[in-house]
Amino acid sequence: MSLPSPELPAPLAAAIEARLAGRAQAMLRERALLLSERYRARRPTIETIRDETDALAYAATRMPATFAAIVTALGRLREESPDFAPTRMLDVGCGLGAAAFAAATVWPSVAEIALLDRSALFLRLATGLMRDGGPPAAIEAIQADFAAPRAIDAAPFDLVVAGYAFTEIAETELPAVVERLWAQTSGALVIVEPGTPRDHARLMGVRSRLVALGAHIIAPCPHAAPCPLAAPDWCHFSVRLARRRAHKLLKGAKAPFEDERFAYLAVGRRNAPSPASARIIGPPRAGKAGVSLKLCADKAFCETFIPKRDKARYEKIRRKDWGDPLRAPAEEI
Ligand SMILES: C[S@@+](CC[C@H](N)C(=O)[O-])C[C@H]1O[C@@H](n2cnc3c(N)ncnc32)[C@H](O)[C@@H]1O
């Protein structure tokens, strides 16, 4: 199954544009700039987004990229578990609802969405965007601190997604947060984070905790052994998305696209029916003689070269991309 489009669904893009229309461009531009500076300085959202203008600047300049990363990670989960069809989902640290929109894009079966955030402003805007540009699902807004015990008082969800939210939690709090979110998951839990060495390292701690709790790793890792990548290397992926007009205007960006780097982990209560035997964890490097791939396979990280003269293998591999799973045994790749 192919990956979903990384672009915002048209009704959502229109709902965002309607909210940007009539706002002073200069003010939005100033806020978009401040937003990037604050996020670059690793300030949490609670200090970064202070009013509706900040939130709209986020909608125009950051949400398209977080949506693109989350929808790609969810597409990877669908690729591994094609029979999974969640109806109830929880968007943890929802912001403007990027994960909820992404889940509804990947699974039209999603009929009940719970949006959880500690920001009343984000919850109000996310609910409005869902109403005007979202799926025909029942929406519940939960204002809570997801790092606090008993933040969620609901039956477990088929799908729980935390998009760019763990990155704002203290490392010491992560094990307890993960345990609680796993207890809230009846199907799959997906965590998407910025594609940085710091966030990868933290995600690997989360992964160990989830494995200890009995979770099955569905993607991206083709095994549940400790991550074989050693610092300074780190596992991350990339998605290219078109920059919308508002984004270019607010960021003064010239390029018509941007690449969002992200790290992710999808785990489930059940194993994938036919798990991948390897995954491509870097951009394939094509040369005159063949293609080099960086793979995570068989509990180990390896580089492999497939020469053009090995026609059968080369043909199988040449259209594969960074992030794709491989299902053949490593020696046949
Ligand atoms: C970087 S934003 C990501 C928003 C959205 N998920 C996305 O991908 O665009 C992080 C979000 O997590 C929320 N958040 C951070 N820590 C939280 C906590 N302890 N409890 C509830 N929400 C939290 C913030 O309010 C913010 O909306």
Report the CATH number at residue 261.
Answer: 3.40.50.150
Angstrom distance (rounded) from CA 100 to CA 228: 32
Of the candidates 268, 288, 321, which is a domain's last residue? Answer: 268
The separation between the first and the last C-alpha atoms of the chain, rounded to the nearest angstrom, is 20
pLDDT band at residue 333 under the 50/70/90 scheme: low
Q: What is the pLDDT of residues 158-195, one digit of tens each?
A: 999 999 999 999 999 999 999 999 999 999 999 999 99
Angstrom distance (rounded) from CA 146 to CA 94: 11
Query: Which residue of 116, 119, 127, 174 sits with most ligand 1 atoms within 8 Å of its CB, as the best mutation to test the pocket?
Result: 119
Beta carbons of 183 and 257 less than 8 angstroms apart? no
Provide φ and ψ at 298, rounded to 5°: 45, 50
Over range 123-149, report the average pLDDT: 96
Q: Is residue 64 part of a domain?
A: yes
- Does residue 90 line the site of ligand 1, with CB under 6 A? no
Ligand 1 atom closest to the CA of 146, numbered from 1: 20
Both 158 and 304 in one domain: the answer is no
Kindly report the protein residue whose alpha carbon is nearest to atom 16 of ligand 1: 168
Kindly report the protein residue whose alpha carbon is nearest to atom 4 of ligand 1: 95
Please state the pTM of the whole predicted model.
0.96
Q: What is the pLDDT of residues 7-58, one digit of tens each?
A: 999 999 999 999 999 888 888 888 888 888 888 888 888 888 889 999 999 9
CA 87 to ligand 1 center in whole angstroms: 23
Over range 115-124, report the average pLDDT: 96
Q: Is residue 4 part of a domain?
A: no
CB atoms closer than 10 angstroms to residue 288 = 5
- Does residue 262 line the site of ligand 1, with CB under 6 A? no
Domain that holds residue 118: 10-268
Tell me what pLDDT residue 41 has. 85
Both 154 and 240 in one domain: the answer is yes
Of the candidates 243, 268, 293, which is a domain's last residue? Answer: 268
- Does residue 147 line the site of ligand 1, with CB under 6 A? yes
Of the candidates 268, 301, 324, which is a domain's last residue? Answer: 268
Beta carbons of 112 and 89 less than 8 angstroms apart? yes
Both 74 and 119 in one domain: the answer is yes
Q: Is residue 5 part of a domain?
A: no
Kindly report the protein residue whose alpha carbon is nearest to atom 10 of ligand 1: 165
Kindly report the protein residue whose alpha carbon is nearest to atom 19 of ligand 1: 145
Beta carbons of 159 and 103 less than 8 angstroms apart? yes
Both 212 and 299 in one domain: the answer is no
- Does residue 66 line the site of ligand 1, with CB under 6 A? yes
Both 226 and 83 in one domain: the answer is yes
Both 59 and 103 in one domain: the answer is yes
- Residue whose structure tokens are 């939005």: 28
* Of residues 327 and 268, more confidently modeled: 268
